[in-house]
Amino acid sequence: MSPLGKIEIQGRDAAEFLERVYVNRWRSLKVGRCRYGLMLREDGVVFDDGTTTRIAEHEFYMTTTTAKAAQVMAHLEFYAQTVWPDLHVHLTSVTDRWAGLALAGPEARKVLAAAVGESAEVSGEGLPFMGYREAMIADCPVRLFRITFSGELAYEIHAPADCGMRVWEAVLEAGEPCGIIPYGTEAMSVLRIEKGHVVGGELDGRTYPAELGFGRMLRKDGDFIGRRSLDRPALAGEPKRGLVGLVSENGRHIPRGAQIVTDPKARTPMPMLGHVTSTCYSPNLEKEIALAVIEDHQRWMGKSLVASSPVAGEHVPVTVTSSVFIDPEGGRARA
């Protein structure tokens, strides 16, 4: 996970700055806790997401998506220097300073405990869900975050860049009794699709918070970037589109980017209901699944549509489902 963007935000107005940048609340976040954040463009479209941790009273540690790391840094600098120069806040890109790895799975806590030894308490009480601690692994200082992208019980371990390999090897050694194996971004992508977590395919510069299920995150009081755009009449009320899951009805792979239609043989121009954003084969479900953004999503729940890709010559019948395929209650992550 080392390519994730990492930004240190410091100063007595750091919390206020985050409240203006993100759509949700930050002043109430306690030291040693993490929170998921969503930031918008001025037009109200989702710009980026990630987690931010309160390291100290006036110090936060933000992670961004890999693709938007540089853009988010420039975005924050612009607002800090030209829009809100009265705020006492300092921004530092530390993306190259920290190596990162994800430790995920039912045995993750046991492996982490073996890796950190007596340097930190990582029990459910010592390191709760969305919690943060500092520890030592292989004589290296590390930052531990109990956050999950895979939907499993998971931790992120951030270590100084020159300690990255040493920490990686120490964690693998600690996990040998549990049968630990490395996994990469392909496996991570499958896990996050099964869990309905959004990434670049869903955050493609065309979606609004409510369309992705983030409507309840929006603060009712105060201002933030994009707030006034969300008050436009066109965006009032229930979202016209929504994020859904798709399950292939004939076992064929659902093409990424395919358009969702009711009948691919209808006369052109035929109405497009939406499009596929991410797709994979689910080993847990043993089915071809996908995420999609479609119009009138509640109306189509449980019904059949077609994922049509004329360029690839594929037309796959699909059933519309919830976007969360695995563990909808989130019990695994909070175990």
For residue 99, pLDDT over 90 is answered with yes
Q: Share the mean pLDDT of the chain.
A: 95
Alpha-carbon distance values, 58 to 79, 94, 121 (Å)? 18, 17, 24
Q: Which domain holds residue 298?
A: 240-335
The pLDDT confidence band at residue 265, using thresholds 50, 70 and 90, is confident
Amino acid at site 324: V
Q: Which of 156, 174, 192 is the last residue of a domain?
A: 174
For residue 310, pLDDT over 90 is answered with no
Alpha-carbon distance values, 25 to 8, 40, 149, 183, 230 (Å)? 18, 14, 21, 34, 17
Q: How many helices (H) and strands (E) does the chain have?
A: 7, 15
For residue 237, pLDDT over 90 is answered with no
Q: Does residue 268 lie in a domain region?
A: yes
Q: Which of 121, 141, 174 is the last residue of a domain?
A: 174
Q: Does residue 71 lie in a domain region?
A: no
> Which residues on adjacent β-strands are paired with residue 317?
306
- The SS3 of residue 67 is coil
pLDDT number for residue 119 = 95
pLDDT number for residue 313 = 87
Q: Does residue 269 lie in a domain region?
A: yes
How is the chain split among helix, strand and coil, in percent rounded to 5?
25, 30, 45
Q: 260-267 long-range CB contacts below 8 Å, 24 or more apart?
A: 260/292, 260/294, 260/305, 260/306, 260/307, 260/308, 260/318, 261/305, 261/306, 261/308, 262/305, 262/306, 263/306, 264/306, 264/308, 264/315
pLDDT digits (tens, 9 = 90+) for 278-299: 999 999 999 999 999 999 999 9
Q: What is the CATH number of the domain that holds 164?
A: 3.30.1360.120
Q: 316 — phi, psi (to 5°)? A: -105, 120
- Distance, CA of 17 to CA of 27 (rounded, Å): 10
Q: Does residue 83 lie in a domain region?
A: no
pLDDT digits (tens, 9 = 90+) for 111-161: 999 999 999 999 999 999 999 999 999 999 999 999 999 999 999 999 999
> Which token pair is 134?
């500092």
Q: Does residue 314 lie in a domain region?
A: yes
Contact (Cβ atoms closer than 8 angstroms) between residue 239 and residue 275: no
Q: Give me the residue label for tokens 């969300």.
A: 230
- Distance, CA of 267 to CA of 269 (rounded, Å): 6
The pLDDT confidence band at residue 234, using thresholds 50, 70 and 90, is confident
Q: Which of 159, 174, 189 is the last residue of a domain?
A: 174
Alpha-carbon distance values, 112 to 121, 174, 201 (Å)? 10, 8, 32
Q: Does residue 185 lie in a domain region?
A: no
Q: Does residue 91 lie in a domain region?
A: no
Q: Does residue 210 lie in a domain region?
A: no
Q: What is the CATH number of the domain that holds 330?
A: 2.40.30.110
Report the predicted TM-score, pTM, of the whole model to 2 decimal places: 0.94
The DSSP 8-state label assigned to residue 102 in this structure reads E
| Domain count along the chain | 2
